[in-house]
C-alpha cells in the first residue's frame, strides 16, 4: 500500500476548488507550467518493481536497469587463431539513471577483487572524466583508453580562434600566456558548483588593442578569461585530447570495436534486453548467469576451432554472395 501511495503522490496532485470539490490532476514538469516531478533517480516507475527507473539514450526509452559488460581483449591478425578466447570478465548492473561515469568505479572494484584488472581499459566516450583518468591510474594502475569530450568553448567548436588549450599555463608561477604573448593579470582559485576551478583573467588594456581579439573573445568586459580544473586534471585531459588526434591512438582504440559483438551476443543470444526477474539483485544474478553461459559458448567454440563472428546477411543478399563465390 505504501508503494502504491508513493506512485500516486508522485504522479498526481490533489487540490480543493473554491466550491469545496476535490480536483485530481496529473503532475507536469515545472517548465511546462506544472507542479513538478520528483527527480528521476528517486521516482518510482512501477509499483510492481520499485528498483526500475525510466531512462533514455538518444531515441531509446526504457524502464529498467543498465548493464555494463567487460571482457578480455587482445590484438589479432585477421584469420589467425587467438591464443585464448575473449572471456567476459565482469557484468555490473546499475540503476538506469546512474551515469556511466559513476559506474566505472564499481566495475574496477569488482574486477580488482577477482585480480582481473587490465593494464589498459578500453571504454566508450560515455565513461571517462579527468578525475577518472587520474584516479584509475593512481588507485588501480589502469590506463583508460577512451575518447574524451572535446573542448566545448565557442572557439574550439568553431575551430577558429584561441581555445583554452592554446594558452601556455605556468602552474608554479600562477600565470598564463596567451598565443599573442600577453601574460595574465589575475589568477583566482574558486569553487564552481562544488568543483574546484581556477579562473585566469587577462587585462582589458592588453585585449582591447590586440589584433587577435576577434578570434579570442567577444566578452563585454573586453578581456579574455579561461576556467581550468586543478593542475593534474587539466594536464590529464589535455594529454588525452592530444593523443586521440593521432593515428597511433586511433589504431590502438580500434581494439574496442570487438565489444560491440559481445553486446550483440548478450542482447540477441542471451536476451538481456528484457529483464526476466524483478528487482536489481535478481536481475544482476540473471546477467551473471547469462555471461557465464556465453563464456561456455565461447570456450567451446575456441576449443573446437569454430569462429563465432559469422556475418549475417539478408535473404536478398545471400544469392548475390553465393553467385560471387
135 shares a domain with 28: no
139 shares a domain with 68: yes
Rounded distance, CA 51 to CA 307, Å? 38
Provide the number of structural domains found in the chain: 3
Last residue of one domain, picked from the residues 180, 197, 230: 230
121 shares a domain with 58: yes
159 shares a domain with 140: no
In which band, very low, low, confident or very high, does the pLDDT at 5 lie, cut at 50, 70 and 90?
Answer: confident
Question: Which is higher by pLDDT, 57 or 248?
Answer: 248
Q: Rounded to the nearest 5 degrees, what angle is found at the Cα of 14, between the Cα atoms of 8 and 18?
A: 170
Per mean pLDDT, which range of 135-144, 278-287, 300-309 is the poorest?
Answer: 300-309
Residue 184 DSSP label: P
In whole numbers, what is the pLDDT of the chain averaged over residues? 87
Would you state the pLDDT for residue 307?
Answer: 66
DSSP-derived 3-state class of residue 309:
coil
Would you state the pLDDT for residue 316?
Answer: 67
Host H or E run for residue 227: strand 225-228
Task: Give the Cβ contact number of residue 222 at 10 Å.
Answer: 16
Close Cβ partners of 146 (under 8 Å, ≥ 6 residues apart): 121, 122, 123, 124, 125, 127, 128, 240, 253
In which band, very low, low, confident or very high, does the pLDDT at 317 lie, cut at 50, 70 and 90?
Answer: low
Establish if 240 belongs to a structural domain. no
Domain that includes residue 12, residue range: 2-38
CATH number reported for the structural domain that contains residue 274 in this entry: 3.30.420
Rounded distance, CA 323 to CA 137, Å? 53
Would you state the pLDDT for residue 95?
Answer: 94
205 shares a domain with 57: no
Residue 8 DSSP label: H
Is residue 318 pLDDT above 90, yes or no?
no
255 shares a domain with 142: yes
Phi/psi at 299 (nearest 5 deg)? -65, -45
In which band, very low, low, confident or very high, does the pLDDT at 261 lie, cut at 50, 70 and 90?
Answer: confident
CA 316 to chain CA centroid, Å, is 37
Please name which of 164, 233, 235, 232 lies closest in space to residue 202, comparing C-alpha atoms: 164
Antiparallel, parallel or unpaired: β 186-192 and 60-71: unpaired
Give the ranges where 161-221 is alpha helix by DSSP (H). 204-207, 213-216
Establish if 318 belongs to a structural domain. no
280 shares a domain with 133: yes
> How is 231-254 classified by DSSP, letter by letter?
HHHHHHHHHHHHHTTSHHHHHHHG
Amino acid at each position: 500500500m505504501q508503494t502504491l501511495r508513493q506512485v500516486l503522490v508522485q504522479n498526481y496532485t490533489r487540490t480543493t476548488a473554491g466550491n469545496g470539490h476535490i480536483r485530481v490532476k496529473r503532475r507536469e514538469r515545472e517548465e511546462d507550467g506544472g507542479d513538478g516531478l520528483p527527480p528521476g533517480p528517486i521516482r518510482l516507475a512501477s509499483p510492481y518493481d520499485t528498483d526500475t527507473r525510466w531512462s533514455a539514450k538518444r531515441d531509446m526509452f526504457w524502464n529498467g536497469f543498465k548493464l555494463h559488460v567487460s571482457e578480455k581483449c587482445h590484438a589479432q591478425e585477421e584469420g589467425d587463431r587467438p591464443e585464448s578466447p575473449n572471456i567476459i570478465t565482469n557484468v555490473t548492473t546499475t540503476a538506469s539513471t546512474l551515469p556511466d561515469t559513476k559506474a566505472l568505479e564499481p566495475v574496477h572494484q569488482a574486477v580488482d577483487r577477482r585480480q582481473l584488472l587490465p593494464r589498459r581499459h578500453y571504454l566508450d566516450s560515455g565513461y571517462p572524466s579527468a578525475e577518472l583518468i587520474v584516479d584509475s591510474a593512481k588507485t588501480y594502475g589502469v590506463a583508460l583508453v577512451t575518447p574524451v569530450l572535446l573542448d566545448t568553448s565557442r572557439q574550439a567548436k568553431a575551430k577558429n580562434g584561441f581555445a583554452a588549450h592554446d594558452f601556455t599555463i605556468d602552474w608554479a608561477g600562477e600565470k598564463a600566456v596567451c598565443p599573442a604573448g600577453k601574460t595574465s593579470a589575475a589568477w583566482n582559485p574558486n569553487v564552481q558548483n562544488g568543483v574546484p576551478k581556477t579562473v585566469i583573467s587577462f587585462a582589458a588594456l592588453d585585449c582591447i588593442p590586440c589584433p587577435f581579439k576577434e578570434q579570442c573573445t567577444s566578452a563585454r568586459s573586453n578581456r579574455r578569461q579561461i576556467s581550468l580544473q586543478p593542475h593534474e586534471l587539466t594536464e590529464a585531459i589535455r594529454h588525452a585530447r592530444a593523443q586521440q588526434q593521432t593515428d597511433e591512438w586511433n589504431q590502438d582504440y580500434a581494439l574496442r570495436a570487438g565489444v560491440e559483438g559481445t553486446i550483440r551476443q548478450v542482447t540477441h543470444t542471451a536476451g538481456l534486453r528484457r529483464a526476466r526477474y524483478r528487482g536489481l539483485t535478481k536481475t544482476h544474478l540473471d546477467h551473471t548467469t547469462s555471461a557465464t553461459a556465453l563464456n561456455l559458448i565461447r570456450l567451446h567454440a575456441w576449443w573446437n576451432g569454430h569462429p563465432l563472428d559469422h556475418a549475417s546477411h539478408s535473404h536478398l543478399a545471400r544469392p548475390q554472395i553465393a553467385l560471387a563465390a
